[in-house]
Amino acid sequence: MAKASARDDFVVFERVQKSYDGETLVVKDLNLSIATGEFLTMLGPSGSGKTTCLMMLAGFETATHGEIRLDGRPINNIPPHKRGIGMVFQNYALFPHMTVAENLAFPLEVRKIGKTEREQKIARALDRVRMSDFGNRRPAQLSGGQQQRIALARALVFEPELVLMDEPLGALDKQLRESLQFEITNLAHELGITVVYVTHDQTEALTMSDRVAVFEDGRIQQLATPDELYERPRNSFVAQFIGENNTLLGEVAEIRDGVAVVRLDTGALIDTKPVNVSRVGERTRVSIRPERVETNPERLSPGTHTLEAEVLEFIYMGDIYRTRLRVAGNDNFIIKTRNAPDQRRLQPGERIEIGWLPQDCRALDA
């Protein structure tokens, strides 16, 4: 594979905008740099702009404003087939009348690669996706997972430096999807290719990516590593969209020494980390992950504010217990506790005290 020189700006979106009607922007002033060999996922709900960004990079959509560069050269006016980009779609997009080998030969024939070299590349690509024995079959003779492996092999067969994937595992069942997640990431890192991956599945994004760009309303709300996104969301949208999250509404009563004391709408006081708040009296949405809630206040720092909670539902899930509580007027406050010999099973109707470390609880935008 002809490698691109390693660079932090292998793919660049610079002030890119996209409008379909000349009025409404579906992508708003996007600035993004992707490094050589990076696996970057564009994550967001439907209509957030992530797929439009991928289609502009592929050349199937044209940017209304701004510039897109690949390995240092502007590609806005270069047609898709001349960009040298591999693509994998959710619907596989295999030619049904061709065999697997013929499907893989097609992008090589377009590039005028000779027969001997073509056969070598096809054999190598099929071997990479563990489909070496399927070259003579047609797509209809393959399972969904096998077809997706062939679609991946076709994207890799001409050895591109950049591969784009648009919801490639969306049509597969959970077990197969999880298996292919690891195969795709391992293959990408092994080959050193740059991958831009689009999904609305948060678990997929967290599992596969070096970095994740969370999209909403045509903008990147946060661009970070998976652990930073989950542990340190920058705003309420990211906190709610990534993983399970509890929220409580209130206003800032005090800010001191890196701690914001929030007075909840019920009047109770809690300690939080100030993230999107800066002054007393400001409305805030407090965010706390279910696994960070402590049901034994003795384990908390002295002086930490705690809350009374009523147990509404207790669910045994094997490795964890999932408990739904009524807390400060919120009837869907979830806590997750490890299934361990010293962990007491809570009973519906029981009243308990809960709390958390201030650094695990974030005061975000209201």
Q: What is the mean pLDDT of residues 77-97?
A: 88
Determine contact, residues 106/98, Cβ cutoff 8 Å. Answer: yes
pLDDT of residue 173: 83
- CA dist 315 and 56 (Å) reads 45
As a 3-state breakdown, the chain gives helix, strand, coil percent values, each rounded to 5, of 30, 35, 40
Least-confidence region, from 171-185, 208-222, 258-272? 171-185
Mean pLDDT of the chain: 91
- pTM (predicted TM-score): 0.89
What kind of architecture, by CATH, is found in domain 11-236? Answer: 3-Layer(aba) Sandwich (3.40)
Whether 2 shows a pLDDT value over 50: the answer reads no
Q: How many CA atoms lie within 13 A of 147 on its CB side?
A: 20
The rounded radius of gyration (Å) of the Cα atoms in the chain is 25
Per-position DSSP letters for 215-263, written without gaps between them: EETTEEEEEE-HHHHHHS-SSHHHHHHSS--EEEEEEEEEEETTEEEEE
pLDDT of residue 90: 78
Numbered ranges of CATH 2.40.50.140 in the chain: 245-364
- Would residue 125 be called left, alpha or beta, if left means φ above 0 and alpha means ψ between -120 and 50 degrees? alpha
Q: Is 66 helix (H, G, I), strand (E, B) or coil?
A: strand
pLDDT of residue 179: 85
The pair of three-digit structure tokens given for residue 178, joined into one six-digit string: 């999880």
Q: What is the mean pLDDT of residues 272-293?
A: 94
Could you read off the pLDDT of 4-17 as tens digits, one per residue? 567 889 999 999 99
Q: Strand 11-19: give its sheet, edge to edge.
A: 25-34, 11-19, 65-70, 73-74
Q: How many CA atoms lie within 13 A of 353 on its CB side?
A: 10
The pair of three-digit structure tokens given for residue 162, joined into one six-digit string: 């950049």
Name the residue among 358, 362, 364 with its Cα closest to residue 294: 358
- CA dist 203 and 75 (Å) reads 32
Task: Kindly give the pairing relationship between strand 246-256 and strand 65-70.
Answer: unpaired
Determine contact, residues 222/229, Cβ cutoff 8 Å. Answer: yes
Could you read off the pLDDT of 151-176 as tens digits, one per residue? 889 998 888 999 999 998 887 888 88
Numbered ranges of CATH 3.40.50.300 in the chain: 11-236
pLDDT of residue 41: 98
N-terminal to C-terminal alpha carbon distance within the chain: 50
- The count of other CB atoms within 10 Å of the CB of residue 329 is 12
Could you read off the pLDDT of 180-189 as tens digits, one per residue? 899 899 989 9
Whether 1 shows a pLDDT value over 50: the answer reads no
Whether 3 shows a pLDDT value over 70: the answer reads no
Collect all residues with Cβ–Cβ distance below 8 Å to 9 and sequence separation of at least 6: 33, 34, 35, 69, 72
pLDDT of residue 298: 78
Per-position DSSP letters for 145-160, written without gaps between them: HHHHHHHHHHHHTT--
- CA dist 320 and 93 (Å) reads 41
Determine contact, residues 65/25, Cβ cutoff 8 Å. Answer: no
pLDDT of residue 144: 86
Class of domain 245-364: mainly beta
DSSP conformational letter for 207: H
Could you read off the pLDDT of 130-155 as tens digits, one per residue? 889 999 999 999 988 889 889 889 99
Name the residue among 361, 362, 291, 353 with its Cα closest to residue 321: 291
Could you read off the pLDDT of 297-341 as tens digits, one per residue? 777 777 777 899 999 999 999 999 999 999 998 999 999 998 888
Per-position DSSP letters for 291-343, written without gaps between them: GG-BS-GGGSPTT---EEEEEEEEEE-SSEEEEEEEETTEEEEEEEEE--TTP
pLDDT of residue 349: 94
pLDDT of residue 340: 85
Q: What is the mean pLDDT of residues 234-258?
A: 93
Task: Kindly give the pairing relationship between strand 361-364 and strand 269-274.
Answer: parallel
